[in-house]
A and B are shown apart, each in its own frame.
Chain A
Amino acid sequence: EDQVTQSPEALRLQEGESSSLNCSYTVSGLRGLFWYRQDPGKGPEFLFTLYSAGEEKEKERLKATLTKKESFLHITAPKPEDSATYLCAVQAWGETSGSRLTFGEGTQLTVNP
């Protein structure tokens, strides 16, 4: 069974204080690892897809990296508007998996001004 574990559960940062969020995963065969941002009461907003170990992707203050067992979402010089829950999900190979995403519980990020 595919499993995704995110840490920490919650993270408070001061504006400008860089940090990283962790996503550890166990999957039979990784098709892709996804990062989403979710604001309260809203749908997840797509950020990145990573496909293979060593891959990196960047978007504004966010950078996602992937190894064979985990992914990191690095946040550089965050701003209050970066406050949200960040979700990690894996998509696995397999007939019964379809294209489903298996999500972690998320990391709730708060950036104080």
Chain B
Amino acid sequence: DSGVTQTPKHLITATGQRVTLRCSPRSGDLSVYWYQQSLDQGLQFLIHYYNGEERAKGNILERFSAQQFPDLHSELNLSSLELGDSALYFCASSSRTGGGNTIYFGEGSWLTVV
């Protein structure tokens, strides 16, 4: 158990809908990262927050947004969902934003868009 908690574990929704994925980082960790893993692609970095502030953006679609709250939990909002958004979405956390820090992953949220 990495200590990173993600909910829901599984989600099935229709095209055009909006969903919110939630992440609670490990106790004391200030950095939260979101990654997407689909069948035909490896782990793709989406976005990084540190202590409530956005630090880096990857290949995150404009239909997707994220935020980190004062209690350090984070949410990833996915809207106008398309079939191609079906994937495993991982949240990860680390204690700081500096280099070399260990990044721990949650168990992921399986999103299926039908």
Contact = CB atoms under 8 A, between A and B. Distances in A.
Contacts of A105: 42
A96 B90 CA distance: 21
Contacts of A104: 42
Contacts of A32: 99-100
A22 interface: no
Interface residue tally on B, bucketed by range: 20 to 34
**Chain A interface size, under 10 / 10 to 19 / 20 to 34 / 35 or more:** 20 to 34
Nearest to B58: A100
A103 B100 contact: no
Interface string A37-81: 000011111100101000000000000000000000000000000
Interface string A90-113: 010100111111111110000000
B18 interface: no
Interface of B: 2, 4, 31, 33, 42-43, 45, 48, 50, 55-56, 58, 88, 90, 94, 97-108, 110
Given A43-B2, A87-B42, A100-B58, 7 more contacts: A46-B2, A46-B104, A91-B100, A93-B99, A98-B97, A100-B33, A104-B42
25 contacts: A31-B99, A32-B99, A32-B100, A41-B88, A41-B108, A42-B107, A43-B105, A43-B107, A44-B90, A46-B2, A49-B102, A87-B43, A91-B100, A93-B99, A98-B48, A98-B50, A98-B56, A99-B31, A99-B33, A99-B48, A100-B33, A100-B48, A100-B58, A101-B43, A105-B42
